Amino acid sequence: MDVKRLVRGLAVFAIAAGIAGFAAPAGATTLIRESLDDLVRSNRTIVVGEVLDTRSYWNADGTFILTDVRIAAHDVVKGNVKNRELTITVMGGTVGDLTTLIIGNPDLVAGNSYVLFLNEEDLPGGKALTVRSLIQGAFDVRIGRDGLRAVSQANAHPLLPDARGSYEAEGGREGFQLNSMMRSIREIVGYNGASPEVK
């Protein structure tokens, strides 16, 4: 087969798919768009980590299915994480033949890496460290042409515009170059946490 023709054909198909609007929206629960600045300010812990495993269970009073997600933190960008491992809790999961599906939840799969924005919040059954901003607080770490990239899961979930009228998920469909995102987060954390200079 003529390789040039094949490449040209694939390019034509890719452009055609783009024109036809192949990318499908998804998601449901109603969320207002959060900027990176909003995410950094409203969450106490930010990590880049790999999901080790997940475990779903009924909460202590047997009223709601929760899932614990154990994470190995490769990088702690904000907050303190002992021994570079942490367990977060998200609503929903499957126990037996019963599934609680939370529309707008982040999708966290064992073996995959994410940038996670975490905060302690009230969940059914008590306070727990969780992905406060749901799908907006989880970025998939993917290999891109220029190295690792962090792509917001909110790209698959239409958002309500924020106060500036923006509604695209932070980083857009291409996402952030991971190192660049970490630098931006550290700048925001440093700025927020800096004590005023006294002379």
Judged by the rule CB under 8 A, the positions of this chain that interact with another protein are 8, 11-13, 15-17, 19-22, 24-34, 38, 42, 54, 56, 63-65, 67, 90-94, 97-109, 121-124, 130, 132-136, 157-158, 160-161, 167
Distance (Å, whole) CA 64 – CA 66:
6
Instruction: Return all residues near 177 (Cβ < 8 A) that are at least 6 apart.
Output: 144, 146, 147, 148, 149
The whole-angstrom separation of Cα 134 and Cα 190 is 25
Cβ proximity to another protein: between 47 and 69 the closer is: 69
Distance between CA atoms of 69 and 54, rounded to whole angstroms? 4
CB 46 within 8 A of CB 66: no
Minimum separation from the CB atom of position 198 to another protein (A): 33
Nearest approach, Cβ of 140 to another protein (angstroms)? 13
User: In this complex, which beta carbon is closest to another protein, that of residue 79 or of residue 158?
Assistant: 158
Residue 167: CB minimum distance to another protein, A: 8
Q: What is the largest CA-CA distance in the chain?
A: 74
CB of 33 to another protein, least distance (A): 7
Nearest-angstrom CA–CA distance, 126 and 106: 20
Q: Is 10 left (phi over 0), alpha (psi -120 to 50) or beta?
A: alpha
Query: Toward another protein, which CB reaches closer, 73 or 105?
Result: 105
User: What type of residue sits at position 15?
Assistant: I
Cβ distance to another protein smaller for residue 86 or 178: 86
Instruction: Report, in Å, the least distance between residue 29 CB and another protein.
Output: 5
Q: Residue 144 or 158: which CB sits closer to another protein?
A: 158
